[in-house]
Amino acid sequence: MPESTKQELLVGVDLGGTKILAGIFSPQLQLLQTAKLSTKSERGFDAVVSRIARCVRDAADEADLGLKQVRAIGIGAPGAVDPDSGEVIFAPNLRWKDAPLKKALEKELEIPVFVENDCNICTLGVHEVELKGRARSLIGIFLGTGVGGGLILDGKLYSGFNKTAGEVGHMVIQVGGPKCGCGNNGCFEALASRTALFREIQKAVKEGGKTVLTEMLGADLAEMKSGDLRKALRKGDKLVEKVVESAAEHTGIAVANLINIFNPEVVVLGGGVVEALEDEMMSIIVETALDYAMPGTTKGIEIVASKLGDLAGVTGGAVLARQRAK
């Protein structure tokens, strides 16, 4: 791309509890370059804002582009966000409360900044880029450390009365079930997140269950990652298979609940767990969802895994930037 003084590039930022990923996009939403930095939230809000700015500058520099060519930046933040003010109302993973992210980052970079919840952003990215805006209604469900979601209704992001819609991870699907990080019991997140998978495996091992994971990682399974579960499954590990199947079944039931309630055209699953275990989980998720959904609700609808993987966040950020920039 030739050097230009036109402000036509878009930047998407995926701000997570542990890492910042920035992506530079063409006006047609083609990804030109990414850059990654650790978040280091323990250093406080100002330091994180500077790191986001540095990550954006790094990505631009790596692609031989200048920030003057950037029209707007869209950021997904892990928590409750006021998209109008660009404040992060509450983000426990960052230890932020009422953090003026838009204002602070605009001051640092002198580029318009727009902020949204991270799962909303991922859903927006999937809808606009992966599905080319085709579906009028879409639910995005992201299984990672936690479980989050986003809703597209009538072709637009739906955020609800307090801008908190899409908290599908805290839908209770098993009253009296396992304790969730939120304090309730039996949330979808407590049954199908990475945290839930690891908890169940560790519990089974403590109760004397056998798995190749202890050979791979040691008895305490301290450094376990989603990819390790995939490796164990490929080695025919029955304990891991049972735990992953159970998480997939619970995800299928959660998908059916959302189909019964919303009747969306497309349900997209993403996040680290689905990315690592797609082959093992998706067929069970789809089968269970179709089994539990009411007759007539699933005709013509799609339940699919996102192909965007780790890039859903930055992609959605660029979409948000394009939508909101004047």
Question: d(Cα 129, Cα 139) in Å, to the nearest integer?
Answer: 15
86 binds its own copies (CB under 8 A): no
CA distances to 33, 44, 224, 315 from 57, in Å? 11, 20, 33, 17
Name the minimum Å distance from CB 119 to its own copies: 12
Is 135 or 321 the residue whose CB approaches its own copies more closely?
135
Among 14, 128, 130, 167, binds its own copies (CB under 8 A): 167
Find the part of the chain contacting its own copies (CB under 8 A) among 7-15, 25-33, 117-125, 288-296. 288-296
Question: What crossing angle do the helices spanning 238-262 and 272-292 adopt, rounded to 10°?
Answer: 60
CA distances to 185, 254, 293 from 190, in Å? 8, 12, 22
How many residues touch its own copies under the rule CB under 8 A: the total is: 51
Is 236 or 300 the residue whose CB approaches its own copies more closely?
300
Among 54, 57, 103, 163, binds its own copies (CB under 8 A): 163
The torsion of the CA quartet 295, 297, 301, 302, rounded to 10 degrees, works out to -70
Question: d(Cα 47, Cα 60) in Å, to the nearest integer?
Answer: 20
Question: d(Cα 211, Cα 204) in Å, to the nearest integer?
Answer: 9
Among 106, 265, 287, 310, binds its own copies (CB under 8 A): 265
153 binds its own copies (CB under 8 A): yes
Of 120-149, which residues contact its own copies (CB under 8 A)?
A: 136-137, 149
Name residues whose C-beta falls within 8 Å of residue 161's C-beta, 6 or more positions apart in sequence.
none
Question: d(Cα 316, Cα 325) in Å, to the nearest integer?
Answer: 14
Among 11, 258, 273, 312, binds its own copies (CB under 8 A): 258
Find the part of the chain contacting its own copies (CB under 8 A) among 13-21, 31-39, 151-159, 192-200. 151-159
Q: Write out the two tokens for 196.
A: 């839930």
Among 17, 83, 100, 177, binds its own copies (CB under 8 A): 177
Of 181-220, which residues contact its own copies (CB under 8 A)?
A: 182, 184, 186
